[in-house]
């Protein structure tokens, strides 16, 4: 008996390809169900960090010297790296401050990590350069490459090692800033309601952070931390300035300026926040309209390369298989 032959399209077994695609789709469904079941609270880890910050502020104001030392412990590894980099004359105050600013934008609270970033920028180019030299020159992995290509590969590895920590921080900071930008108009609307209800600024920040913590965890974390600092810092202006320092967003800086002015001159908070909320909402709408206007031009290339060929295969595929089977039966 002759084995049953499956229909083919361009020399490819259609049933075999369909089976693989069905398996991939089933695996994607299982992963989606697993991700939906195992949803974690986005604020759990952040609440722990905020509680640590609250304890540090308590220790700095009302705690004894012994308790302050127990709560604010120095990182011995960071101290050793600092001493090593200082001995090599590669550690500068301006560089540390710049990296600490980027760490704050990325939501990383520990300032001693700036030393680790500088150490990584010094070590990673050497490590990746040695690996690239071993792969390109010593092991001769790519024998067809000329000297120029090998040098370009080696230089690319060294540059990547130097830029990798900064690119990583910038990527995290960019995602965090976008998440905060999306939730800021809603936060201001809730803050207006809290101000009109008679809540203080501290209570308003805490209430808004509690309501928006799950939808916008990054924004909820920043508002909660600001509420904690408003309760413990001696100058309330410092709490608002710390919020502006941690978030790389002009809208947040505008809110901070408004808060400082209302604290100093006693201007109505609700009316000022209502104006800012309307302005940020209009800005978000304009940004969405801009993206929608760019969408046809962006979708042209994917439409030509990916969507239209698949559409032709789906429409003409069965007819092509039938014609191929008819010709094969006539040849027999």
Residue 43 has pLDDT above 60, yes or no: no
- List CB contacts of 109: < 8 A, sequence separation 6 or more: 49, 53, 103
Distance CA(49)–CA(53), nearest Å, equals 6
Contact 117, 169 (CB under 8 A): yes
For 185-230, the pLDDT digits (tens) are 888 889 888 888 888 888 888 899 888 888 888 888 888 888 888 8
Residue 74 has pLDDT above 60, yes or no: no
Residue 168 has pLDDT above 50, yes or no: yes
Output the six-digit token pair for 226. Answer: 């600001």
Alpha-carbon 64 to chain mean position: 39
Q: How far is CA 327 from CA 10, 322, 331, 332, in A?
A: 14, 9, 6, 9
Distance CA(308)–CA(315), nearest Å, equals 11
For the stretch 319-325, contacts whose Cβ atoms lie closer than 8 Å and that sit 24 or more positions apart, written own/partner, are: 320/9, 321/7, 321/8, 321/9, 321/14, 324/7, 324/8, 324/9, 325/7
Residue 126 has pLDDT above 70, yes or no: yes
> pLDDT at position 66, please?
43
Please work out, in degrees rounded to the nearest 5, the angle formed at the alpha carbon of residue 296 by the alpha carbons of 292 and 298. Answer: 95
Q: How far is CA 19 from CA 16, 26, 122, 184, in A?
A: 5, 11, 50, 47
Residue 289 has pLDDT above 80, yes or no: yes
Q: Tokens 């905060």 sit at which residue? A: 180
> pLDDT at position 1, please?
40
Please tell me which residue, 331 or 309, carries the higher pLDDT value: 309
First-to-last alpha carbon distance for the chain, in angstroms, is 15
> pLDDT at position 172, please?
92
Distance CA(64)–CA(70), nearest Å, equals 10
Please choose, from the candidates 110, 75, 60, the residue with its C-alpha nearest in 3D space to the C-alpha of residue 229. 60
> pLDDT at position 121, please?
84
Side-chain-side CA neighbours of 97 within 13 Å: the count stands at 4
> pLDDT at position 171, please?
92
Distance CA(304)–CA(114), nearest Å, equals 46
Contact 200, 222 (CB under 8 A): no
Percent of the chain with pLDDT over 70: 79
Contact 139, 281 (CB under 8 A): no
Residue 314 has pLDDT above 50, yes or no: yes
> pLDDT at position 143, please?
78
- List CB contacts of 101: < 8 A, sequence separation 6 or more: 245
């Amino acid at each position: 008996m002759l084995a049953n032959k499956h229909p083919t399209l361009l020399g490819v077994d259609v049933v075999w390809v369909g089976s693989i695609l069905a398996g991939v789709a089933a695996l994607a469904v299982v992963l989606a169900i697993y991700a939906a079941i195992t949803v974690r609270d986005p604020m759990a880890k952040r609440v722990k960090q905020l509680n640590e910050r609250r304890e540090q502020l308590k220790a700095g104001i009302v705690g004894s010297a012994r308790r302050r030392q127990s709560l604010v412990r120095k990182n011995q590894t960071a101290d050793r790296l600092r001493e090593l980099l200082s001995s090599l004359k590669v550690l500068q105050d301006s560089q540390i401050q710049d990296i600490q600013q980027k760490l704050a934008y990325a939501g990383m609270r520990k300032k001693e990590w700036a030393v680790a970033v500088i150490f990584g920028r010094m070590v990673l180019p050497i490590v990746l350069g040695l690996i690239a030299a071993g792969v390109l020159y010593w092991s001769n992995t790519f024998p067809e490459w000329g000297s120029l290509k090998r040098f370009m590969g080696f230089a690319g590895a060294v540059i990547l090692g130097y830029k990798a920590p900064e690119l990583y921080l910038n990527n995290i900071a960019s995602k965090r800033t976008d998440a905060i930008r999306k939730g800021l108009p809603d936060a201001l609307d809730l803050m207006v309601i809290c101000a009109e209800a008679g809540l203080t600024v501290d209570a308003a920040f805490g209430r808004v952070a509690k309501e928006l913590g799950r939808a916008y965890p990054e924004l909820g974390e920043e508002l909660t931390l600001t509420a904690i600092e408003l309760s413990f810092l001696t100058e309330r202006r410092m709490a608002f300035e710390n919020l502006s320092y941690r978030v790389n967003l002009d809208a947040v800086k505008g809110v901070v300026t408004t808060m400082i002015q209302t604290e100093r001159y006693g201007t109505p908070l609700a009316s000022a926040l209502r104006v800012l909320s309307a302005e940020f909402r209009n800005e978000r709408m304009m940004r969405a309209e801009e993206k929608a206007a760019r969408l046809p031009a962006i979708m042209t290339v994917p439409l030509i390369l990916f969507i239209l060929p698949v559409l032709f295969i789906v429409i003409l595929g069965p007819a092509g298989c039938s014609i191929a089977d008819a010709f094969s039966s006539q040849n027999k």
